[in-house]
Amino acid sequence: MIYLAMAVAFAASILLTPLVRKLAFRIGAVDRPNYRKVHASIMPRIGGLAIFGAFLIGYFFLRPQDEHSTGILIGALIIIITGFLDDMFEITAKAKIVGQLAAAIVVVSWGGLQIDAINIPFVGVQFDFGYLSIPITIIWIIGITNAINLIDGLDGLAAGVSTIALITISVMAIIMGDPFVMATAAILAASSAGFLFFNFHPAKIFMGDTGSLFLGFMIAVLALLGFKNVAFISLIIPVIMLGVPISDTFFAIVRRIRMKQKVTAPDKSHLHHCLLRAGFSHRQTVLIIYGLAALFGVAAILFSQATVWGSIILLVVMLLAIELFVEIIGLAGANYRPLLNFVRMIGK
């Protein structure tokens, strides 16, 4: 049944996207070019409605059940409304955060989804978050939601990276024996993949904040569902599988602090901007980031099956590789090269 539900969601996405595209032009939900945008023509930008609609069709076709399902759907609806309002009227960043906060609170309060504690390896100590468990969970949901939103800068980028992350989550759910997360992630991946037929370069429609916030929210919640109240090493798995958006967001913050700018200030130095400046084409840049997202996904799966020491070694190698890549492409700023400078100093 799961494969049939995925096929239904995939087909629904392909059928709904052209209809949403016509609606976007009719109601004026369009993205106009400016100095920060890569596209040069007016584009419809509420494609997330097609992803959401296709997901609902596939979801209710299969009807996966879980104590958190109602809260997740209500939270997703709040996120869709928030994103749609931004695509239509360009609401303030504070207003968007309020919508995300409301959605996160619904998920946390409805089914009690929260990170209560972690077990620290080697010392055998469990650290209980206590009253901090709810704020930490909300921060995770809002953080990942915005991380997906920030990478939505090229045709097909956010949809492709999200699809890869959702496939990884679905595979991890199979390993961990969680049918609800597996089914929900797989249906959403199929919905996002169907949208890619119209969103890959050259795109005919953008997902807009309606789509990027929705995908980010769902990825954050589904990734969290399988890893709450687990060992510290296991808690790193969702961070690894979302390595591309998390790394891009983290180094954007580092870059803006170094440049003495506001953390929320927009710029043209995200991962995709750096690769474009390095001489890669639009399509090549997107495919490179797809490859990076897939590598993070495979690393997360390997990480989940490794021993504690194996996990630590893999994590150290990954962190060094990420740092080296960031310095080479200038993701944290042109003059940010501590690791490269250290290697050169040793080589002298």
- For the chain, which residues make up each domain, given as ranges? 2-347
DSSP 8-32: HHHHHHHHHHHHHHHHHHHHT-EE-
Q: How far is CA 222 from CA 170, 204, 344, in A?
A: 9, 29, 43
Return the closest-CA partner of residue 84 out of 50, 43, 36.
Answer: 50
Residue 15: band (very low, low, confident or very high) from pLDDT cuts 50, 70, 90: very high
State both tokens at 89.
């009227």
Report the pLDDT value the prediction gives residue 100, as an integer from 0 to 100: 96
Looking at the predicted structure, is the pLDDT value of residue 123 above 60?
no
Give the tens place of pLDDT for each residue, 62-120: 988 888 889 999 999 999 999 999 999 989 889 999 999 999 999 998 867 887 766 65
Looking at the predicted structure, is the pLDDT value of residue 232 above 50?
no
Average pLDDT over residues 270-289: 85
How many beta carbons lie within 10 A of that of residue 201, not counting itself?
17
> Taking CA 305 as the corner, what is the angle to CA 292 and CA 69, rounded to the nearest 5 degrees?
75
Measure the CA–CA gap between 225 and 235, rounded to whole angstroms: 11
Return the axis-axis angle of helices 93-111 and 208-225, rounded to nearest 10°: 30
Residue 48: band (very low, low, confident or very high) from pLDDT cuts 50, 70, 90: very high
Give kind and range of the element (H or E) at residue 278.
none
State both tokens at 208.
């807009």
How many beta carbons lie within 10 A of that of residue 325, not counting itself?
14
Burial of 122 from C-beta contacts in 10 A (0-12 / 13-18 / 19+): exposed
How many beta carbons lie within 10 A of that of residue 310, not counting itself?
13
Residue 231: band (very low, low, confident or very high) from pLDDT cuts 50, 70, 90: very low
* Helix residue ranges, H only, 90-156: 93-111, 133-150
User: Which percentage of the chain shows pLDDT scores above 90?
Assistant: 40
State both tokens at 165.
């992350």
